[in-house]
């Protein structure tokens, strides 16, 4: 979706999205078939709709059209909506196969475009998991890395809590509406996250209860938002392994904290390591793999001198990339890019690491 949505079109998507039968795939289909004017889906005859949609999605659209869009709940809970294709939408999340069309947000939406790591693990954690996170998270926070997790009990909650305790930024991804914090025991934690310029998001509209089928969908957002996923304790059948699998599918890094070979709690993480996940015993293992400096918060500000430089800097703002990928993303000639990267390296604006280039500082924001 490249077009700029009108307010009426946004409200149309929000209205349709209120139905639990209308998910991201159906909204994507609406965007495709009614790209000239999304509001037409509201007046389309049921016979014409049935040529495009079937089953539950068709029922959901028809049911939604009989409802009214209630704006009051958004104001009551300070909920902001960000639509796929908008500038504030996460670039990394937009790259996955089925990105959410609407993100319902409470808090600091700038974090959607921050450098981030997802941390997931067992709900029934051991003291070892807590000890590992107490070592790793402060170092990630010092490197200005945002921590993403799912607000669940266990490792998720500890990851959010330790990030807040260390004055870091964290994003909680819910499998229910952002006004329905689940589990309820984490409501105080949610308020602390928001009070510290953190963010709570969901693809499910306000009022959506924590339905079991929503959590696998939530996992793809956790994996899709971040540069990599760290698994800290997971049994062999843990849902955390699903998130790690999604991260791998999205070509993101997968990290795992090794555990005792006799511990059921570490069966999943040890298996991930066998399959190629990066062994992680300190934050430096994550930062070095992603070519992120510990001292990123003190990086110099890099300002492009022309449009071509601006395109190049934007392409390597999040992660280091080789010349061919930079050329593909920027649509600049690969020979020209190769020449420019040499000059930019000499001028200390970029740094070459293992045949890839990364920005040697922070890109100046307009």
Domain locations in the chain as residue ranges: 7-69, 91-289, 299-363
Domain at 299-363, CATH class? mainly alpha
- Segment 261-266 shows an average pLDDT of 86
Query: With b meaning 16 or more CB within 10 Å and e meaning fewer, what string describes 48-71?
Result: ebeebbeeebbebbeebbeeeeee
pLDDT tens digits, one per residue of 279-329 = 999 999 999 888 876 554 444 678 888 999 999 998 988 778 999 999 999
CA distance 288 to 265: 27
Strands 199-202 and 102-107: antiparallel
pTM across the whole model: 0.77
According to CATH, the topology of domain 91-289 is Rossmann fold (3.40.50)
The pLDDT confidence band at residue 3, using thresholds 50, 70 and 90, is low
pLDDT in tens, 176-212: 999 988 888 999 999 999 998 899 999 999 989 988 8
- Over residues 45-84, the pLDDT tens digits come to 889 999 899 999 899 899 888 888 777 888 888 899 999 9
- Does 361 have pLDDT greater than 80? no
């Amino acid at each position: 979706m490249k077009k700029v949505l009108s307010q009426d079109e946004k409200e149309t998507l929000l209205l349709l999205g209120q139905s639990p039968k209308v998910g991201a795939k159906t909204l994507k289909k609406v965007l495709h078939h009614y790209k000239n004017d999304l509001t037409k889906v509201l007046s389309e005859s049921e016979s014409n709709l049935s040529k495009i949609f079937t089953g539950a999605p068709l029922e959901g659209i028809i049911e939604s059209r009989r409802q009214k869009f209630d704006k009051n709940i958004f104001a009551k809970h300070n909920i902001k909506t960000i639509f796929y294709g908008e500038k504030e939408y996460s670039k990394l999340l937009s790259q996955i196969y089925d990105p959410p069309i609407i993100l319902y947000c409470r808090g600091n939406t700038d974090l959607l475009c921050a450098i981030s790591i997802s941390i997931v693990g067992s709900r029934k954690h051991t003291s070892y998991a807590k000890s590992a996170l107490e070592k790793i998270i402060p170092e990630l926070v010092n490197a200005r890395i945002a921590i993403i997790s799912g607000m669940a009990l266990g490792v998720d909650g500890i990851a959010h809590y330790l990030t807040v305790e260390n004055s870091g930024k964290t994003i909680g991804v819910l499998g229910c509406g952002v006004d329905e914090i689940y589990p309820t025991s984490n409501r105080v934690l949610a308020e602390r996250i928001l009070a510290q310029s953190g963010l709570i998001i969901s693809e499910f509209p306000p009022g959506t209860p924590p339905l079991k089928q929503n959590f696998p969908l939530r996992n793809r957002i956790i994996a899709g938002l971040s540069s990599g996923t760290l698994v800290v304790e997971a049994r062999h059948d843990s849902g955390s392994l699903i998130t790690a699998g999604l991260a791998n599918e999205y070509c993101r890094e997968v990290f795992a904290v090794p555990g005792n070979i006799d511990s059921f709690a570490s069966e999943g993480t040890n298996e991930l390591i066998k399959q190629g996940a990066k062994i992680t015993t300190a934050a430096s293992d994550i930062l070095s793999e992603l070519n992120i400096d510990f001292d990123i918060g003190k990086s110099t500000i890099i300002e492009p001198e022309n449009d071509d430089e601006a395109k190049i800097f934007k392409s390597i703002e999040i992660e280091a990339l080789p010349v061919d990928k930079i050329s593909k993303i920027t649509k600049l000639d690969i020979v020209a890019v190769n020449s420019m990267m040499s000059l930019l390296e000499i001028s200390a604006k970029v740094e070459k690491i293992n045949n890839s280039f990364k920005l040697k500082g922070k890109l100046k924001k307009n």
